[in-house]
Protein backbone atom coordinates (compact mmCIF):
# COMPACT_ATOMS: atom_id res chain seq x y z
CA UNK A 1 0.00 0.00 0.00
CA UNK A 2 1.18 3.51 -0.82
CA UNK A 3 0.60 6.34 1.66
CA UNK A 4 -0.27 9.83 0.50
CA UNK A 5 -0.96 13.15 2.14
CA UNK A 6 -3.62 15.10 0.25
CA UNK A 7 -3.82 18.26 2.40
CA UNK A 8 -0.94 20.14 4.06
CA UNK A 9 0.53 23.61 4.36
CA UNK A 10 3.86 25.46 4.17
CA UNK A 11 4.83 28.67 5.91
CA UNK A 12 6.06 30.23 2.67
CA UNK A 13 2.45 30.58 1.47
CA UNK A 14 0.13 29.88 4.42
CA UNK A 15 -0.02 32.40 7.27
CA UNK A 16 -0.96 29.60 9.70
CA UNK A 17 1.85 27.30 8.46
CA UNK A 18 4.78 26.67 10.81
CA UNK A 19 6.96 24.47 8.56
CA UNK A 20 8.91 25.40 5.43
CA UNK A 21 8.24 23.38 2.30
CA UNK A 22 11.55 21.56 2.76
CA UNK A 23 10.70 20.69 6.38
CA UNK A 24 7.26 19.46 5.35
CA UNK A 25 8.87 17.10 2.81
CA UNK A 26 11.34 15.77 5.40
CA UNK A 27 8.62 15.24 8.00
CA UNK A 28 6.43 13.20 5.66
CA UNK A 29 9.37 11.17 4.39
CA UNK A 30 10.24 10.40 8.00
CA UNK A 31 6.65 9.30 8.64
CA UNK A 32 6.78 6.81 5.78
CA UNK A 33 4.65 8.60 3.19
CA UNK A 34 5.27 7.98 -0.52
CA UNK A 35 3.96 11.35 -1.67
CA UNK A 36 2.23 14.56 -0.59
CA UNK A 37 0.08 17.30 -2.07
CA UNK A 38 0.99 20.78 -0.86
CA UNK A 39 -2.32 22.67 -0.60
CA UNK A 40 -1.59 26.17 0.68
CA UNK A 41 -4.36 28.66 1.40
CA UNK A 42 -5.13 30.97 -1.50
CA UNK A 43 -4.71 34.75 -1.32
CA UNK A 44 -8.09 35.54 0.20
CA UNK A 45 -7.71 32.87 2.92
CA UNK A 46 -5.02 32.44 5.57
CA UNK A 47 -2.32 33.56 3.16
CA UNK A 48 1.27 34.57 3.89
CA UNK A 49 1.51 36.37 0.54
CA UNK A 50 1.76 40.17 0.65
CA UNK A 51 -1.55 41.41 -0.83
CA UNK A 52 0.07 44.56 -2.22
CA UNK A 53 2.26 42.63 -4.68
CA UNK A 54 1.36 42.42 -8.37
CA UNK A 55 -0.46 39.20 -9.32
CA UNK A 56 2.57 37.57 -10.99
CA UNK A 57 4.69 38.11 -7.88
CA UNK A 58 1.94 36.83 -5.62
CA UNK A 59 1.76 33.66 -7.70
CA UNK A 60 5.55 33.24 -7.44
CA UNK A 61 5.51 33.56 -3.63
CA UNK A 62 2.48 31.30 -3.41
CA UNK A 63 4.19 28.53 -5.39
CA UNK A 64 7.50 28.82 -3.51
CA UNK A 65 6.31 26.60 -0.63
CA UNK A 66 5.38 23.84 -3.07
CA UNK A 67 8.58 24.31 -5.07
CA UNK A 68 10.77 24.11 -1.96
CA UNK A 69 8.96 20.93 -0.89
CA UNK A 70 9.33 19.47 -4.36
CA UNK A 71 13.06 20.23 -4.53
CA UNK A 72 13.62 18.59 -1.16
CA UNK A 73 11.39 15.67 -2.14
CA UNK A 74 13.55 15.02 -5.19
CA UNK A 75 16.60 14.81 -2.94
CA UNK A 76 15.10 12.45 -0.37
CA UNK A 77 12.72 10.35 -2.49
CA UNK A 78 9.25 11.78 -1.82
CA UNK A 79 6.77 12.65 -4.59
CA UNK A 80 5.45 16.20 -4.16
CA UNK A 81 2.39 17.45 -6.04
CA UNK A 82 0.43 20.70 -6.12
CA UNK A 83 -3.10 21.45 -4.97
CA UNK A 84 -4.74 24.70 -3.82
CA UNK A 85 -7.04 25.30 -0.85
CA UNK A 86 -9.50 27.95 -2.03
CA UNK A 87 -11.51 30.02 0.43
CA UNK A 88 -14.93 31.64 0.39
CA UNK A 89 -16.00 33.03 3.78
CA UNK A 90 -14.33 30.08 5.56
CA UNK A 91 -15.84 27.48 3.22
CA UNK A 92 -12.83 25.75 1.68
CA UNK A 93 -12.24 23.51 -1.31
CA UNK A 94 -9.10 21.63 -2.23
CA UNK A 95 -8.61 21.85 -5.99
CA UNK A 96 -6.11 19.62 -7.78
CA UNK A 97 -5.01 20.56 -11.28
CA UNK A 98 -4.34 24.32 -11.27
CA UNK A 99 -0.77 25.18 -12.27
CA UNK A 100 1.24 28.37 -12.71
CA UNK A 101 -0.21 29.01 -16.18
CA UNK A 102 -3.79 28.74 -14.88
CA UNK A 103 -3.06 31.06 -11.95
CA UNK A 104 -1.41 33.65 -14.20
CA UNK A 105 -4.29 33.50 -16.69
CA UNK A 106 -6.97 33.97 -13.99
CA UNK A 107 -6.07 37.04 -11.92
CA UNK A 108 -9.55 37.23 -10.38
CA UNK A 109 -9.52 33.85 -8.61
CA UNK A 110 -9.45 35.43 -5.16
CA UNK A 111 -12.55 37.53 -5.92
CA UNK A 112 -14.91 34.80 -7.12
CA UNK A 113 -17.61 33.27 -5.00
CA UNK A 114 -17.24 29.53 -4.47
CA UNK A 115 -19.81 28.62 -7.10
CA UNK A 116 -18.04 30.72 -9.74
CA UNK A 117 -14.65 29.37 -8.71
CA UNK A 118 -15.72 25.72 -8.78
CA UNK A 119 -17.45 26.19 -12.13
CA UNK A 120 -14.28 27.64 -13.63
CA UNK A 121 -12.07 24.91 -12.18
CA UNK A 122 -14.40 22.15 -13.34
CA UNK A 123 -14.43 23.63 -16.87
CA UNK A 124 -10.71 22.81 -16.84
CA UNK A 125 -11.39 19.26 -15.63
CA UNK A 126 -9.79 19.94 -12.25
CA UNK A 127 -10.62 17.77 -9.23
CA UNK A 128 -12.62 19.67 -6.58
CA UNK A 129 -12.77 18.25 -3.05
CA UNK A 130 -14.84 19.88 -0.31
CA UNK A 131 -12.45 20.20 2.64
CA UNK A 132 -13.85 19.56 6.14
CA UNK A 133 -17.43 20.53 5.13
CA UNK A 134 -18.84 20.15 8.66
CA UNK A 135 -16.02 21.71 10.68
CA UNK A 136 -17.36 24.32 13.09
CA UNK A 137 -15.00 26.67 14.90
CA UNK A 138 -14.95 30.30 15.85
CA UNK A 139 -13.95 31.26 12.33
CA UNK A 140 -16.57 29.04 10.64
CA UNK A 141 -20.06 30.35 11.36
CA UNK A 142 -21.88 29.17 8.25
CA UNK A 143 -21.75 25.76 6.57
CA UNK A 144 -22.18 25.84 2.78
CA UNK A 145 -22.62 22.77 0.58
CA UNK A 146 -22.20 22.56 -3.20
CA UNK A 147 -23.11 18.95 -3.99
CA UNK A 148 -23.59 19.60 -7.71
CA UNK A 149 -20.08 21.06 -8.01
CA UNK A 150 -18.26 18.65 -5.69
CA UNK A 151 -16.17 15.77 -7.07
CA UNK A 152 -15.37 14.31 -3.65
CA UNK A 153 -15.70 15.04 0.06
CA UNK A 154 -12.90 15.12 2.65
CA UNK A 155 -14.58 12.80 5.16
CA UNK A 156 -11.47 12.38 7.29
CA UNK A 157 -9.57 15.47 8.38
CA UNK A 158 -6.92 14.48 10.91
CA UNK A 159 -6.75 18.01 12.34
CA UNK A 160 -10.20 17.52 13.86
CA UNK A 161 -10.39 16.78 17.58
CA UNK A 162 -11.50 13.44 19.04
CA UNK A 163 -14.33 15.19 20.88
CA UNK A 164 -17.65 13.53 20.14
CA UNK A 165 -15.83 10.78 18.24
CA UNK A 166 -14.77 13.03 15.38
CA UNK A 167 -18.30 14.26 14.79
CA UNK A 168 -17.25 16.68 12.02
CA UNK A 169 -15.90 13.73 10.04
CA UNK A 170 -18.94 11.56 10.73
CA UNK A 171 -21.22 14.29 9.42
CA UNK A 172 -19.02 14.68 6.32
CA UNK A 173 -19.25 10.93 5.68
CA UNK A 174 -23.05 11.01 6.03
CA UNK A 175 -23.14 13.92 3.54
CA UNK A 176 -20.95 12.10 1.00
CA UNK A 177 -22.94 8.88 1.33
CA UNK A 178 -26.24 10.70 1.06
CA UNK A 179 -25.25 12.22 -2.31
CA UNK A 180 -23.28 9.23 -3.57
CA UNK A 181 -20.10 11.31 -3.63
CA UNK A 182 -16.70 9.62 -3.31
CA UNK A 183 -14.54 10.55 -0.37
CA UNK A 184 -10.95 11.06 0.69
CA UNK A 185 -8.85 12.00 3.71
CA UNK A 186 -6.01 14.30 4.70
CA UNK A 187 -4.13 15.69 7.68
CA UNK A 188 -4.56 19.43 7.05
CA UNK A 189 -1.17 19.61 8.75
CA UNK A 190 0.39 22.99 9.56
CA UNK A 191 2.81 22.09 12.40
CA UNK A 192 5.46 19.48 13.27
CA UNK A 193 3.52 18.09 16.24
CA UNK A 194 -0.10 17.69 15.17
CA UNK A 195 -1.73 15.06 17.38
CA UNK A 196 -3.14 12.92 14.56
CA UNK A 197 -1.86 12.51 11.02
CA UNK A 198 -3.74 11.04 8.10
CA UNK A 199 -4.21 10.80 4.39
CA UNK A 200 -5.05 7.96 2.07
CA UNK A 201 -3.81 4.47 1.43
CA UNK A 202 -3.80 3.46 -2.21
CA UNK A 203 -2.84 0.21 -3.90
CA UNK A 204 -1.37 2.00 -6.88
CA UNK A 205 1.40 4.56 -7.05
CA UNK A 206 0.11 8.07 -7.72
CA UNK A 207 2.25 9.90 -10.29
CA UNK A 208 0.15 13.03 -10.87
CA UNK A 209 -3.03 14.75 -9.68
CA UNK A 210 -5.04 12.97 -12.39
CA UNK A 211 -4.03 9.62 -10.87
CA UNK A 212 -5.23 10.82 -7.49
CA UNK A 213 -8.56 12.04 -8.91
CA UNK A 214 -9.13 8.75 -10.74
CA UNK A 215 -8.32 6.69 -7.66
CA UNK A 216 -10.79 8.64 -5.50
CA UNK A 217 -13.56 8.63 -8.13
CA UNK A 218 -13.29 4.85 -8.54
CA UNK A 219 -13.14 4.44 -4.76
CA UNK A 220 -9.71 2.85 -4.71
CA UNK A 221 -8.42 4.94 -1.78
CA UNK A 222 -8.85 4.34 1.94
CA UNK A 223 -8.68 7.40 4.20
CA UNK A 224 -6.64 6.76 7.34
CA UNK A 225 -5.86 8.51 10.61
CA UNK A 226 -3.13 7.54 13.06
CA UNK A 227 -1.62 9.04 16.19
CA UNK A 228 1.47 11.07 15.48
CA UNK A 229 4.42 9.95 17.58
CA UNK A 230 5.40 13.33 18.94
CA UNK A 231 8.05 11.88 21.21
CA UNK A 232 10.24 11.20 18.21
CA UNK A 233 12.46 14.23 17.66
CA UNK A 234 12.23 15.77 14.19
CA UNK A 235 15.35 17.22 12.67
CA UNK A 236 14.74 20.66 11.24
CA UNK A 237 17.17 23.26 9.95
160 contacts: CB under 8 Å, gap ≥ 6: 132, 135, 166, 168, 169
CB of 212 to Zn ion, least distance (A): 16
16 binds Zn ion (CB under 5 A): yes
Q: Does 46 bind Zn ion (CB under 5 A)?
A: yes
| Contact pick of 37, 188, 199, 215 for Zn ion (by CB under 5 A) | 188
The CA distance from 134 to 153, in Å, is 10
- From the list 30, 40, 38, the residue with the least C-alpha distance to 77 is 30
47 near Zn ion, judged by CB under 5 A: no
Q: What are 115's strand-pairing partners?
A: none
Per CB under 5 A, the segment of 50-58, 80-88, 99-107, 167-175 that binds Zn ion is 80-88
Using CB under 5 A, count the residues that bind Zn ion: 4
Q: Count of CB atoms within 10 A of residue 1's CB?
A: 10
Dihedral pair phi/psi, residue 103, rounded to 5°: -65, -45
Nearer Cβ to Zn ion, position 47 or 68?
47
| Distance from C-alpha of 129 to C-alpha of 154, rounded to nearest angstrom | 7
**Stretch binding Zn ion (CB under 5 A), from 43-51, 161-169, 202-210, 222-230:** 43-51
Q: Could you give the string, one character per residue 86-125, with x where binding to Zn ion holds by CB under 5 A and - elsewhere?
A: ----------------------------------------
Binding site for Zn ion (CB under 5 A): 16, 46, 85, 188
Amino acid sequence: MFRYETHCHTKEASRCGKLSGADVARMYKDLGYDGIFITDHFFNGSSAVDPSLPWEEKVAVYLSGFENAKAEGEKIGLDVFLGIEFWFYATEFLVYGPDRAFLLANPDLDRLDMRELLTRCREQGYFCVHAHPFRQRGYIKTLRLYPDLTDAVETLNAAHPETDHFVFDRRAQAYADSYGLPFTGGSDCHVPDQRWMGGILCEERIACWQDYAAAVKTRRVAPFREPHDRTKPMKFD
